[in-house]
Amino acid sequence: MLKEYLGHLETLSVGVASGVYDIEVMDSLCGPRLINTVKHYAPFIKTRRKEIGYDRYCAELLWLGDELKRRDYSRVPYVPLAQRSRADPSHHNDEPVLSPPLAV
């Protein structure tokens, strides 16, 4: 069940990394949950990578958790997405979504 849950979050993360989904929208939908999932399950993900011999397992999920944490969209005081000004640089709209690094 955990593998399926992580797989679902990985799919959403691929959507953000590829530009299909907006990172601010994703943060509004499940940012804190995603950040906490990455925090708590990173050891499992690293172990699973070794078990299956695939070092990119959940790579986008780990990237998105770190990116959401770095950008700190869930700031205090919280401003609902609908009320945020797209022209306001304090909302990080001028920052591009960075692609996760490729494993070598």
In a domain, 96, yes or no: no
> Which residue type does 103 have?
A
How far, in whole angstroms, is CA 62 from its chain's centroid?
7
In a domain, 16, yes or no: yes
In a domain, 104, yes or no: no
In a domain, 97, yes or no: no
Q: Which domain holds residue 55?
A: 2-91
94 half-sphere exposure, CB direction, 13 A CA radius: 4
In a domain, 13, yes or no: yes
In a domain, 102, yes or no: no
Do residues 104 and 56 lie in contact, with contact meaning Cβ atoms separated by under 8 Å? Answer: no
How many domains, in total, are found in the chain? 1
In a domain, 101, yes or no: no
Written as tens digits, the pLDDT of the chain (104 aa) is: 999 999 999 999 999 999 999 998 898 888 889 999 999 999 999 999 999 999 999 999 999 999 999 887 655 666 776 777 655 555 554 454 455 555 54
In a domain, 10, yes or no: yes
